[in-house]
Structure 1
């Protein structure tokens, strides 16, 4: 059987268990849970931020309307009624 280059004589190999334990420490359980939750929530939070930013830019910059009206519920109710009216 032919020897692979990694099986040559004189090559020092570290045991698999030693390298993983010395170079990479495991994080505490609580920190891993918090990081997992943050990772899971990152995309929805970024989507909501993009939606709010888009509403603001579209209404104030492109629509030339007052900035305070963006966050009022009546503004968006009126927009909905205009878009989905029967006539």
Structure 2
């Protein structure tokens, strides 16, 4: 099974025959999965907070500390649903 000039087919070489063990691959995969499960919600939360601060403080020209005040959101809720 030789292919010109004494070279062998790739399936016959030692490199192709050696496959990574399932335990090694799954060991890395669960760490990546846990990192995604933890990091994605954290990044989404921080992007929400940064967006609120920029939108309320910079664009709306209001004090940025009011973003974290519950009264601000109660007031917005009352404005949205005043007629219902």
TM-score tier (shorter)? 0.5 to 0.7
Asked whether 1:17 is paired with 2:17, we answer: yes
Other structure's SS at 1:52 match: helix
Deviations 1:28-53 (A, max 9, x none): 83x54332111233333222222111
Which protein has the bigger strand share?
2
> Could you tell me how far apart the structure 2 residues matched to 1:66 and 1:8 are?
75
- Which structure carries more relative contact order (alpha carbon 8 Å, separation 6+)? 1
Q: 1:1-87 alignment to 2 at 5 Å? A: 8-9=3-4, 10-12=6-8, 13=10, 14-15=13-14, 16-18=16-18, 20-21=19-20, 26=24, 29=27, 32-86=29-83
For structure 1, which runs of at least 5 residues remain unmatched after alignment? Answer: 1-6
Other structure's SS at 2:58 match: helix
Query: Which portions of structure 1, spanning 4 or more consecutive aligned residues, are displaced by more than 6 angstroms?
Result: none
For structure 2, which runs of at least 5 residues remain unmatched after alignment? Answer: none
Other structure's SS at 2:72 match: helix
The number of equivalent residue pairs is 75
1:67 deviates by 1.6
